[in-house]
Structures are given as C-alpha cells and as structure tokens.
Structure 1
Amino acid sequence: MTAWIVLPISLSAFSITGIWIVYAMAVMNHHVCPVENWSYNESCSSESAKRGYPKSCCTLEDIPLISKCGTYPPESCLFSLIGNVGAFMVLVICFLRYGQLIEQSHSSWVNTTALITGCTNAAGLVVVGNFQVDYAKSLHYIGAGVAFPAGLLFVCLQCVLTYHVAVSALDFWMAHLRVFLTIVALISLVLSGIFFIHESFLLQHLAAICEWLFVIDILVFYGTFTYEFGAVSNDTLVAALQHSNSRGCKSPGSSSTSTHLNCNPESIAMI
C-alpha cells in the first residue's frame, strides 16, 4: 500500500467540505437563500434580511446553485481555490488511473478516452472556479458545459474499465457501486438541466438540489478510486508517461497510420 491511496479520498473530502463551507458563507452573508427555503417572491425589500441571519425573503437571484454560492467575496475566493486545487487533483487521479490500467495490460481506446475526458473535466473546473457566473456568465457556462458532461462521460468509461479488469468478487461489487453512482449522476444532471431552463421558482430550486446531488455524487465516485490506488506506485506514473510518449513514436519510413513503434529506450528513461 502506498501514499497515493490518500489522493482520491482527499479530493472527495476536501471538495465536498469546501463547497458546503462556501454555501454556509453565502447564506450567512445573504448572497443566497438556504436550501430548505422553498418560498420565493418577485421582489424583496432591502430590510427583508437582518445581518447575521439567513434570508427570509428570496428571489430567483438567490437560488442556492453551487456557482451562485461562489459568486461574491469572501466565499468566491474559497470557491476559486477549491476549483483550482480540485482540478489539479482530478488531473493526477485520471493520469494515475490511466497508468495503472496500462500496467495491468489494459491499453485500449476506452482507457485513452477516459484520460482525455478526465483532463477535459479538470479544465472545465478551472474555468468554472475562476470565472464567477455574475461577472463572466458566458465563460462560466462554457466551463460548466464542458466540466459536467465530461465528468459524466469519465465515470461511465470508468465503469466499463472496472468491469473489464475485475477479478475478485470485491472488484465486481466496486463495479456495481460505480454503476449505481453513475446512474444517480446521469439522472441528477439531466433533471438539473431540464429544471434550470425554466423560470419557475420551484423548478429552479429543484435544479439547484439536483446540481448539488450531481457534484457530490461525482466526487464520491472519484473517492472510490481509493480501492485501487493502494497498488499505485511511482512506476505507475512512469508507465503512463512512457505509453503516452510511445504513441507518438513511429518506425523509420513508416506511414502515419503504422502501429509499429521505434522509440529510443534512453529517451523514454529520461522522462
């Protein structure tokens, strides 16, 4: 067992705790309404909320979407930090998982596609975390439009890969758990999108709840990699780097579609 086992569970614990702290800060600073508040109005007076207490009067601008919670300072600073650190951890996890499957002689287009979607998810998270929805709406929505579908596709591909490499009964139970988490993520993301496009107070509030469920569900899925990461070593990272490098190596005089590789071992060892 190596120290890499801490990485997936750290991502889940850090990110889930962090976004709930952001939410709590936004509620106490009257930037959003509490999730348990289902009463909304077209407009509210400026005296509807007392300092230090949650809002008692809410409009559509106060819907507790995750992005809305991280719009205004001081919680926006923490939101950006979570986005950047979380994206980096996602990137490392995806690359290590890619290398681990290569070590298990499971190099396939599914594994490569999973790596690409994981990196895309991380890139989207950086954009979401650093461009607040009220100040850079287009960029924020582009980031969310990239991060959420890419994250969903990543977990779908990882379900397939988990079944492909499963050997023991416990491996198959982990695969079943991941399928369950993926189904929850799919349903919550679809419902969030359907509810979000309506201006109904009720549907907007439901969209926020589904968004929270989707994000937490995906983070829990990343945390399940703790099961495999006990076997990850520094050689896993080297294997991933070597394989990535070898994909670009061609034999002298070969066509661009040739699959025969002629990589210099010395140059690979220097990575």
Structure 2
Amino acid sequence: MWGYLSLLPVFLTLWAVAGVWTVFAISVANRTVNLTEGFPYISVCGSYPPQSCIFSQLLNVGAAMAAWICIVRYHQLRDWGVGKWPNQLILWTGLLCALGTSVVGNFQETNQHHVHLTGSFLAFIMGNVYFWLQLLLFWRMKSLPQPGGPWVWPLRLGLCCLCTILIVAMNVLNVQQLRSASALCEWAVAMLLFTLFGLFAIDFSGLDGCTLCLQSRPSRGPPPGPSLSPQPASPVSLQVRL
C-alpha cells in the first residue's frame, strides 16, 4: 500500500522540476537573462528579483524535503541490516547535499559568489556521491531487499553514470569558457538528481514504520546507601508508524 511517504519523493521531484523551470520562464519574460547571448545557468536565472525570492523559497523547501527523505532512508537501511558506519556515511552525504541546496538558494551568485559555489559543490557533487554510495552498498550486500524489481538498480546506475559524466563535462566546458554548453549540462545534472530522489518512491512504497531503539542512560554516580551493582541497561525496540 502506497503511504504518504512514498509520495514525498515524487512531490519533491515535481516541486523542484516545476519550480526551476518557472524561475527560468520568469527570468526570460522579464529579460533578466537574454537567450540570444547564450543559455543561462540555473543560478543566473535565480539571481535577480522577483524570481530570486521564488528561487530561495523553492530551494529551501526542496532542501527540507530532501533532508527528510535522507533521514527516512537511513532508518529504512538500518532496519534492513545495514551497518552503522556505512549508513551514517550515506546519511551525512545526503544531508550535505540538502545543505548545499539551501545555500545555493540563500546566497545568490551575484551577492556571495564563493559561498554560492560552495553550495553548488555540496548540492551537485555530494548529491551524486550520495546515490553512488547507495549503489555500492546494494552491490556489496546482495541480501538487501530490491523494491520495484531487478530493473531499478541498473536504472539508477545509468542515471548516476550519466550524472557523473555531465558534472565533469560541465566543469570542463566552464573552464573553456563554453558557458552555454556548460549551463545545459548543469540543467541536465539537476534534472537527473531530481529523478534519482523521485525513485525513492519505489523504495518507500511498502514502508509503514521504522524501529527506534531506546536505551536508558547510565547513572553518573552511585546512589546513597548500600552499594549495589547496577543492572546493565537493555535497549527497548519500539515500532513507530510513519
């Protein structure tokens, strides 16, 4: 049964795709970008008012949804038996991607260029790494569930490969001052990352809860009175519906 969690990745994808192209349309309509001079970067379209306000709100909301998806994914992988260290590595990579997305929206290229570039690095590079780490995890742990059938992993692999190639091409073309071609690569990378987030709807389709492990904190000092050996705290598992 598809719960609301399975709809969150789909909503994020639709929100992001519709939002960035709306910002593009507004920037072209009010002539803050000139298509006769070349195709603009996403950040250029969102650098000038009034679309800069829409751009900031769009990316902040999108970053919040992406962070929530990463957290839910962390709990799902943990319940599937993924170890703490690799799971936390994946989680923090995804959260850095979400943070970078928010930085890009709040620090426009025309105002804080270096901060904006840092946010772009986190959003694009860490976003790509986030999905590569999950592919590596599923490749090494064959016992993990594969929601959606055997076609999902090859699809994600193809999207990640294409995303990596386009990121490299984007930077090479930018160094060579081929800004329009570089901007087209940037738009394509953004669409691919949105699509990869949207594919989590398949993984979340059967998710109706997660397990929280609670453990009592040990006493800081011995209580007054007779010395008694404290009993070790035992974790308590609770099934929490999402």
Fold match, TM over 0.5? yes
Residues 167 and 147 (structure 1), Cα distance of their counterparts in 2 relative to 1, 3 Å cut: closer
Matched with 1:152 is 128
* 1:66 to 2:42 alignment: yes
Could you say which residue in structure 2 is the equivalent of 1:46? none
Residues 169, 31 of structure 1: CA spacing in aligned structure 2 closer, same or farther, 3 A cutoff?
closer
In the alignment, the residues of structure 2 paired with residue 142 and residue 135 of structure 1 have an alpha-carbon distance, to the nearest angstrom, of 13
SS at match of 1:13: helix
Report whether the alignment pairs 1:142 with 2:118: yes
1:111–1:172 distance in 2 versus 1, CA, 3 Å? farther
In the alignment, structure 1 segments of 5+ residues that lack a partner are 35-55, 253-261
Aligned to 1:205: 180
Q: What secondary structure is seen at the aligned counterpart in 2 of 1:31?
A: coil
Work out the CA distance in 1 between the residues paired with 2:147 and 2:44.
43
Query: For the structure 1 residues 113 and 169, does the alpha-carbon distance in structure 2 shift closer, same or farther, using more than 3 Å as the test?
Result: closer
Alpha-carbon distance, 1:113 to partner: 1.1
SS in 1 for 2:149: helix
Name segments (4+ residues, structure 1) moved above 4 Å.
165-170, 262-266
2:100 partner amino acid: G
1:123-152 alpha-carbon deviations (Å, 9 max, x no partner): 111110001001111111111122211101
Q: 1:106 aligns with which of 58, 78, 82?
A: 82
**What does residue 207 of structure 2 align with?**
232
The percent of aligned pairs where both chains have the same amino acid is 31
**Native 8 Å contact 1:111 1:161 kept in 2:** no
C-alpha separation in 1, matches of 2:197 and 2:67: 11
Q: How many residues align?
A: 224
Judge conservation of contact 1:166–1:172 (CA < 8 Å) in 2. Answer: no
What is the deviation of 1:231? 2.0
Q: In the alignment, which residue of structure 1 is the partner of 2:150?
A: 172
Number of the residue aligned with 1:45: none
CA shift in 2, pair 1:220/1:115, >3 Å:
same
Q: Distance in 2 between matches of 1:74 and 1:94?
A: 31
- The answer (yes or no) to whether the contact 2:70–2:94 under 8 Å persists in 1 is yes
What letter corresponds to residue 208 of structure 1 in structure 2? A
Between Structure 1 and Structure 2, the one with more strand by share is 2
Alignment partner of 1:171: what SS?
coil
Question: For residues 264 and 8 of structure 1, what CA distance do their matches in structure 2 show?
Answer: 36
**For residues 48-94 of structure 1, what are the alpha-carbon distances to aligned partners after superposition, in whole Å with 9 as ceiling and x for unaligned?**
xxxxxxxx4x2xxx641000000001111111011100100110101
Q: What RMSD, in angstroms, separates the aligned Cα atoms of the two structures?
A: 2.6
Q: Could you say what secondary structure the match of 2:206 adopts?
A: coil
